[in-house]
Structures are given as C-alpha cells and as structure tokens.
Amino acid sequence: MQAQSVKRKRSVSLRPLLFLILGLIITVIMLFPVYWMIVNSLETNQDIFKIPVSLIPTQITFEAYTATFADQFPHLLTSLIVALGAVVISLAIAIPAAYALAHFRLRFSNVLIFALLLAQMIPAVTLATPMFLIFNKLNLLNSYLGLILADSTYAVPFDVIILAAYMQSLPYELVEAAFIDGTGEWGAFLRIILPLALPGIVTAGLFAFLFAWGDFLYGLTIMTVNDIQPISLSIYGYLGQFNSQWNNLMAVATLGAIPAAILLIVFQRYITSGLSSGALKG
C-alpha cells in the first residue's frame, strides 16, 4: 500500500513538469518562425542561403534595417495613426455599450450579444466589397478616416463582448452607493466603473490596436492608391518588388512586428487580468 501511494504521489508531482515541458516545446515551435525572421534580418543575403544553415548568425549586420527604415517609416506611421484611431473609436463605442449590457436589464440583451457573436463569425472578405461601395459613396476611400472606420469593425464587437463580461464582475452596489451620495448615472460610470474596469479597457484597446495594425484586407480594398499605405500592404508590395533581397524583407517584417510585441510585453499584466476576470465571472 505504501509503495502504491508513493507511486501515485510521484505521478502527481511529475504531471506538472510534463505539462511544462510540453508547453515549452509548443512555444518553441510556434515562436521559431519569428526567431528565424529576426535572424535573417541580421544577416546578409548571401549568409541566408549558405550551406550548412546556421541557427545562430555568425556575423551580425544592420545593413538591412538601415536600407529599409527610411523607406518604411511613413508606412509605420500610417499604421500607427490608423491603429490608434481604431482604438479610440472602438473604445468610445464599446465601453458604454458593454456597461449597458452588463448592468441594465435590456429586453433584447441576449439578441444583441448573439448579434455581436455572429458579427465575429462573418468572414471579413465577404464584407470587403459592400464596404468598398459604401465608402465610395461617402467619399471615404483613400483616407485615414475610412481605414480607421473599416478597421474598427473588427474590434467593436469583440471589445463589447470582452468588456461586458469584465463589467459583470464589477459589483453594481458601488454604483448604487454613489447614487445615494447624489452622483448621477454618468458620474458613477466615469468615477467608479471606468477606474475599476481599467484592465478590461486596456485589454480591449490592445486587441483593437492589434486588429488594425495587422489588417491587410481592408487596407487592400479601401486604399486604391499608394499615398496612404499601412505597413501590412507595404510588406506585401515589398515582397513582390524585392523578392531577391530576403534580408531586407525580413527587416521590414521585423519592424512591422516590433510595436505589437512591445505593447504585448508592456501590458501583459493588464491582459491577464482583463481576460481572466470575465472568464471567472462566466
């Protein structure tokens, strides 16, 4: 009996270690393309195709970055403007909507949530042509505002769902206590709910930024000229124009990934709190 109990304890103690090892292996497999992209951006074009292949660059050079940064900076700036604009618009719509769905007894709240989920399931490619026709009539083609509004359609349904789940975890008794002190609905919302919902708001805003930053379809559909071109379209055009300069292409791709990576690292704590609170509530 003692031997069996010892074996059971060992199997239980080894299980977390096995899951940890499995998780590390999966993480390495998923992140290896990113690592390889960065490595190739730090090599010359000749070193990329040398045999045998070296997983660690023997000679590090920043020639690819110096050759591409000046050319790609306007596109990075365009993506930054569009992504920040999408964050502002999506949060301005999603925060009040999520608060209403979370704390008001709306007759059609379940229908609204279902509609938001349905909007997430519709492929964006099916909406690209109708959106092009609508934006053409509104004279929003080839403009920052048009691209911001188009990219916001990615984020608004997702942000409403995330924020509604998070705000349901916040005690509404705090708002009722504010009513007793003479604070109105908007005052309680601004002074109590918004500060408490900051992790969820940061999470929703970050996803809105990532949706807009990585958008390719709407940028390709709405932008018919190259005057305003986000970094995703620039990488696509760079691939077709300089397909022999793979180190330069990898440098452009790395530059496009750096802002998103920085935001994920900086706001990691908020993302964990914002997603877990809504999940625990559900």
Q: What is the pLDDT of residue 7?
A: 53
Give helix 2-41 / helix 246-266 axis angle, nearest 10°: 130
Among all chains, which residue has been given the structure tokens 């994920």?
264
**Distance in angstroms (rounded) separating the CA atoms of residues 142 and 136:** 9
Among all chains, which residue has been given the structure tokens 């279902």?
114
Among all chains, which residue has been given the structure tokens 């998070």?
166
**Distance in angstroms (rounded) separating the CA atoms of residues 127 and 57:** 44
147 neighbors 81 (Cβ within 8 angstroms): no
- Check the CA dihedral 193-158-33-65 and report its sign: negative
CB atoms closer than 10 angstroms to residue 124: 15
Q: What is the pLDDT of residue 2?
A: 52
Q: Which amino acid is at 190?
A: L
The tokens of 105 are what?
């007894």
DSSP 193: I
84 neighbors 263 (Cβ within 8 angstroms): no
Q: Compute the C-alpha angle 217/69/42, nearest 5°.
A: 100
**Distance in angstroms (rounded) separating the CA atoms of residues 108 and 128:** 29
Q: Is 191 helix (H, G, I), strand (E, B) or coil?
A: helix
Among all chains, which residue has been given the structure tokens 């920040």?
84
Digit-by-digit pLDDT tens for the chain (282 residues) are 555 555 555 555 677 888 889 989 999 999 898 999 999 888 888 888 787 877 888 788 888 888 888 888 999 999 999 999 999 999 999 999 898 888 777 777 778 888 888 888 888 888 888 889 999 999 998 899 999 999 998 899 989 988 988 888 887 777 778 777 777 778 888 888 888 888 889 989 999 999 999 888 898 888 887 778 899 888 887 776 556 688 888 898 898 888 888 888 888 777 766 555 554 444
Give helix 124-137 / helix 144-168 axis angle, nearest 10°: 130
Q: What is the pLDDT of residue 279?
A: 43
Q: What is the pLDDT of residue 280?
A: 42
